[in-house]
């Protein structure tokens, strides 16, 4: 049996303003029909695999659960990391969770934020890797280099171990990101592959190697997983926080792959891209006759080689070339495609000035639905709230703000103190400061409403929950 292990814990900002700390790129629809996480799982169709195990940050748990639910893949299969500790501890948690007295699955370790354009070639490489993983090897997939890339680590192949539809080689060595002259040498030699960070090995073999090379990480993870709990809704596996915090931060390459004598590499030529920048996203997307990759409501004239993506506003681009133009509800990025690495300068500015645009979007997702903060002022906010069927707010109160709810569509079941009643389209209610209240969607269609918050303090830490349905407290 192959158990896919999907690493979804990143919080990268290289695709700001679309990717942010609380909504990073693996949860965005950037390529294909689904989010990158969903694409990673759905491209496994056709392989003999079990339901995927996803490892993510605690703060992304509801987002991951909703995306898995949308593709019918949610089944007690999300391990929550209370803090980020890199890939070696994450894979160790997955291996410990997967292995039982009766089961020792092959773990197919994948990143949630990669593009693979040729699904058939990917499947062939996995199939060719299986016999070697079954023999106890630790298989990594090396990307056939298309150019002298300086942003990736490389794998130098050793002796050939046989040939199937995909050849297999021993691993001679892993090397760090090279400078350009060195990368050119690697490309010309034909012996080097980009390090994809994808692996196939038995859970037990990986744990044996961890025991040899990083017993400290293994011990911390064993303690963390031994007292793991499944939450009330049976979606999340929560490891022991204090035990996991004590775990060293280490990548799987440093911890095991660079040390083991049992590593093999399967070359993979399948249109792989880690979409690490806006220019990379332009590379993988379809383009018009002028070389523009466009998403959303866009008009171009005498414009070429641009990547333009807009959430909702109309964008007109006239007489420009080689630009990235990104519009979200609360930020716009305009940058030359050759300078996309400097997006980090924007994020650094936002953090230094204690602004929130690097961390959250105007629109945020909750276990009950989503909230779009349309207006944010010192003494009042206006939110457009969407509550999915069956979704509900926690029973709560506020010391410093009152709220006014206006139903736009659907039916709301409202509780204010001891009074429970229904509201429908164009009806409204007022919640005074200090009143316990709850909102529920009892219907079969989404509930849409405007929420007007007013008061001397509007922070989220003034939400005092009496009954918490989702573990938000």
Q: Which CATH number is 27's domain given?
A: 3.90.550.10
Indicate if the pLDDT at residue 230 is higher than 80. Answer: no
Q: What percent of the chain has pLDDT over 70?
A: 98
Residue 355 in domain: no
Residue 85 in domain: yes
Residues 64, 93, single domain; the answer is: yes
Model confidence over 179-193: pLDDT tens digits?
999 999 999 999 999
| 162 vs 262, higher pLDDT | 262
CA 52 – CA 145 distance, rounded (Å):
28
Indicate if the pLDDT at residue 232 is higher than 60. Answer: no
Residue 262 in domain: yes
Residue 358 in domain: no
Could you tell me the residue range of the domain that residue 50 belongs to?
2-273
Mean pLDDT of the 133-155 span: 94
- In the structure, what pLDDT confidence band is assigned to residue 31 with cuts at 50, 70 and 90? confident
Residue 332 CB contacts under 8 Å (≥ 6 apart), including other chains: 17, 325, 326
Cβ 87 vs Cβ 251: under 8 Å: yes
How high is the pLDDT of residue 139?
Answer: 97
Residues 263, 283, single domain; the answer is: no
Give me the long-range contacts of 349-358 (CB less than 8 A, separation at least 24): 357/17, 357/20, 357/330, 357/331, 358/13, 358/16, 358/20, 358/21
Model confidence over 86-102: pLDDT tens digits?
999 999 999 999 998 77
Q: What is the mean pLDDT of the chain?
A: 93
How high is the pLDDT of residue 75?
Answer: 86
How high is the pLDDT of residue 167?
Answer: 86
CA 436 – CA 117 distance, rounded (Å):
52
Q: Which residues pair with 439 in a beta bridge?
A: 414
Model confidence over 337-393: pLDDT tens digits?
999 999 999 999 999 999 999 998 888 888 899 999 999 999 999 999 999 999 999
φ and ψ of 49, to 5 deg: -125, 155
Residues 109, 227, single domain; the answer is: yes
Q: Which CATH number is 420's domain given?
A: 2.60.120.10
Residues 410, 265, single domain; the answer is: no
How high is the pLDDT of residue 109?
Answer: 98
- How would you label 239-266 residue by residue, b for 16+ Cβ within 10 Å and e otherwise? bbeebbeebeebbbbebbbbebebbbbb
Compute, in degrees rounded to 10, the torsion defined by CA atoms 99, 101, 103, 108: 20
How high is the pLDDT of residue 365?
Answer: 84
Residues 267, 409, single domain; the answer is: no
- In the structure, what pLDDT confidence band is assigned to residue 472 with cuts at 50, 70 and 90? low
Indicate if the pLDDT at residue 226 is higher than 70. Answer: yes
Residues 222, 303, single domain; the answer is: no
- In the structure, what pLDDT confidence band is assigned to residue 32 with cuts at 50, 70 and 90? confident
Residue 126 in domain: yes
Mean pLDDT of the 221-229 span: 91
Indicate if the pLDDT at residue 473 is higher than 70. Answer: no
Mean pLDDT of the 125-135 span: 95
Residue 473 in domain: no
How high is the pLDDT of residue 227?
Answer: 84
- In the structure, what pLDDT confidence band is assigned to residue 12 with cuts at 50, 70 and 90? confident
Residues 445, 316, single domain; the answer is: no
Residue 205 CB contacts under 8 Å (≥ 6 apart), including other chains: 136, 137, 138, 262
How many domains does the chain divide into?
3
Residues 146, 289, single domain; the answer is: no
Q: Pick the last residue of a domain from 251, 273, 295.
A: 273
């Amino acid at each position: 049996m192959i158990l896919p292990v999907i690493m979804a814990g990143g919080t990268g900002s290289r695709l700001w303003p679309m990717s942010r700390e609380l909504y990073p790129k693996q949860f965005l629809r950037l390529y294909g029909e689904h989010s990158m996480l969903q694409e990673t799982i759905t491209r496994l169709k056709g392989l003999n695999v079990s339901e995927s195990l996803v490892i993510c940050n605690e703060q992304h748990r509801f987002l991951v659960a909703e995306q898995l639910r949308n593709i019918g893949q949610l089944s007690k299969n999300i391990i929550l990391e209370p803090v980020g500790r890199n890939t070696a501890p994450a894979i160790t948690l997955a291996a410990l969770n997967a292995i039982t007295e009766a089961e020792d699955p092959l773990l197919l370790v994948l990143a949630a934020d990669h593009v693979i354009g040729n699904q058939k070639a990917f499947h062939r490489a996995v199939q060719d890797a299986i016999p070697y993983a079954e023999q106890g090897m630790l298989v990594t997939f090396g990307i056939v280099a298309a150019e002298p890339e300086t942003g990736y680590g490389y794998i130098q192949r050793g002796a050939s171990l046989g040939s199937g539809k995909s050849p297999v080689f021993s691993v001679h060595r892993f090397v760090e990101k090279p400078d350009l002259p060195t990368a050119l040498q690697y490309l010309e030699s034909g012996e080097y592959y980009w390090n994809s960070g994808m692996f196939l090995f038995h859970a037990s073999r990986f744990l044996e190697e961890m025991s040899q090379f990083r017993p400290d990480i293994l011990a911390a993870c064993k303690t963390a997983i031994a007292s793991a709990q499944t939450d009330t809704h049976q979606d999340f596996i929560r490891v022991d926080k204090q035990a996991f915090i004590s775990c060293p931060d280490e990548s799987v390459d440093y911890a095991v792959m660079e040390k083991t004598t049992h590593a093999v590499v399967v070359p993979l030529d399948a249109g792989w891209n880690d979409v690490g920048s806006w220019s990379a996203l332009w590379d993988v997307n379809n383009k018009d006759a002028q070389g523009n990759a466009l998403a959303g409501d866009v008009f171009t004239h005498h414009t070429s080689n641009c990547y333009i993506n807009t959430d909702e506003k109309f964008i007109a681009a006239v007489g420009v070339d080689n630009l990235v133009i990104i519009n979200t509800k609360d930020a716009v990025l305009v940058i030359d495609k050759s300078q996309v690495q400097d997006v980090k300068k924007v994020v650094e500015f936002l953090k230094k000035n204690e602004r929130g645009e690097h961390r959250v979007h105007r629109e945020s997702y909750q276990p009950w639905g989503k909230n779009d903060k349309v207006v944010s002022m010192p003494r009042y906010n206006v939110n457009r709230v969407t509550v999915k069927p069956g979704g509900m707010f926690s029973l709560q109160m506020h010391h410093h703000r009152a709220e006014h709810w206006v139903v736009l569509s659907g039916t709301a079941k409202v509780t204010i103190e001891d009074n429970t009643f229904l509201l429908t389209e164009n009806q409204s209610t007022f919640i005074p400061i200090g009143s316990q209240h709850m909102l529920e969607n009892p219907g079969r269609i989404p509930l849409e409403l405007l929420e007007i918050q007013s008061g001397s303090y509007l922070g989220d830490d003034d939400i005092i929950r009496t009954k918490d349905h989702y573990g938000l407290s």
